[in-house]
């Protein structure tokens, strides 16, 4: 089993009970839209999510749970849509409870999985997307060396409003340089 150890968290495989806990704990911040809101998804629906993860794990995606060092699952992070030919993918992250967001856990999780992607899988490019109102994600990506590459104007419609989607990119050589300068 893969376990990527950080200072305050570690990343490891999600088990079915972890997915149930993340579903049960998830809190949405309506004033800071990040993704689609799935009203009516039950905790039992997390079984389908776990099954979906298992079908593509290690092939199209590498999705790991974010765990506090005491073993409490607080979120998930993933290298998604892995393109072996072009050695690239996108990154996604979710932290279930509001109290655990903007605390540095996400940045630490992203850093760990970026290391894994570049140094273990051999990726050469990782992209990240976020909505313009999500300032915390933007700052986190920028602090990790991502470069803003473009804006998809009014790309997302949510709750009666249109939002710009910001696209960030990070190359393996940029990450190596960033890590050496720390």
Give the pLDDT score at 69.
Answer: 96
Cβ contact 95:105 at 8 Å:
yes
Between CA 168 and CA 171 the distance in angstroms is 10
With a pLDDT cut of 90, the percent of the chain lying above it is: 63
Give the number of other Cβ atoms within 10 Å of residue 139's Cβ.
Answer: 12
pLDDT at residue 102 in the model: 86
Spatial separation of the C-alpha atoms in residues 60 and 67, rounded to whole Å: 23
Under a CB-based contact definition with an 8 Å cutoff, are residues 64 and 5 in contact?
no
Q: What is the mean pLDDT of residues 121-147?
A: 93
Q: Mean pLDDT highest for which of 26-35, 42-51, 54-63, 113-122?
A: 113-122
164 CB-side CA count, 13 A: 11
What's 10's DSSP letter?
E
> Is 181 a residue whose pLDDT tops 70?
yes
Helix, coil or strand: residue 70:
coil
pLDDT 10s digits, 51-87: 888 888 888 999 999 999 999 999 999 999 999 999 9
Q: What is the mean pLDDT of the chain?
A: 89
| Structural domains of the chain, count | 1
**Residue 36 pLDDT exceeds 60:** no
- Sole residue written with tokens 């298992």: 54
pTM of the model: 0.90
Mean pLDDT value of segment 109-128: 97
What are the tens digits of pLDDT across the range 138-168? 999 999 999 999 999 999 887 788 999 999 9
pLDDT tens across 97-118, in order? 989 988 999 999 999 999 999 9
* Cα dihedral sign, 34-40-43-49: negative
Residue 30 structural domain: 3-181
Does residue 23 register a pLDDT over 90? no
Q: CATH number of the domain that 68 lies in?
A: 3.40.630.30
């Amino acid at each position: 089993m893969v376990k990527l150890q950080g200072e305050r968290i570690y990343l490891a495989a999600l088990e079915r009970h972890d997915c149930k806990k993340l579903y049960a704990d998830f809190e949405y911040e309506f004033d800071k839209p990040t993704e689609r809101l799935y009203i009516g998804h039950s905790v039992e629906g997390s079984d389908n999510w776990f099954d979906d993860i298992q079908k593509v794990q290690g092939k199209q995606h590498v999705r790991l749970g974010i765990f506090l060092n005491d073993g409490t699952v607080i979120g998930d992070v993933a290298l998604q849509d892995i393109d072996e030919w072009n050695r690239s993918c996108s990154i996604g992250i979710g932290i279930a409870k509001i109290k655990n967001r903007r605390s540095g856990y996400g940045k630490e999780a992203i850093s760990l999985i970026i290391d894994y992607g570049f140094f273990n899988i051999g990726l050469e490019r990782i992209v990240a997307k976020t909505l313009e109102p999500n300032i915390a994600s933007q700052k986190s990506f920028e602090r990790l060396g991502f470069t803003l590459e473009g804006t998809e104007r009014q790309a997302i419609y949510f709750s009666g409003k249109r939002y710009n989607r910001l696209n960030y990119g990070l190359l393996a050589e940029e990450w190596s340089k960033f890590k050496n300068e720390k």
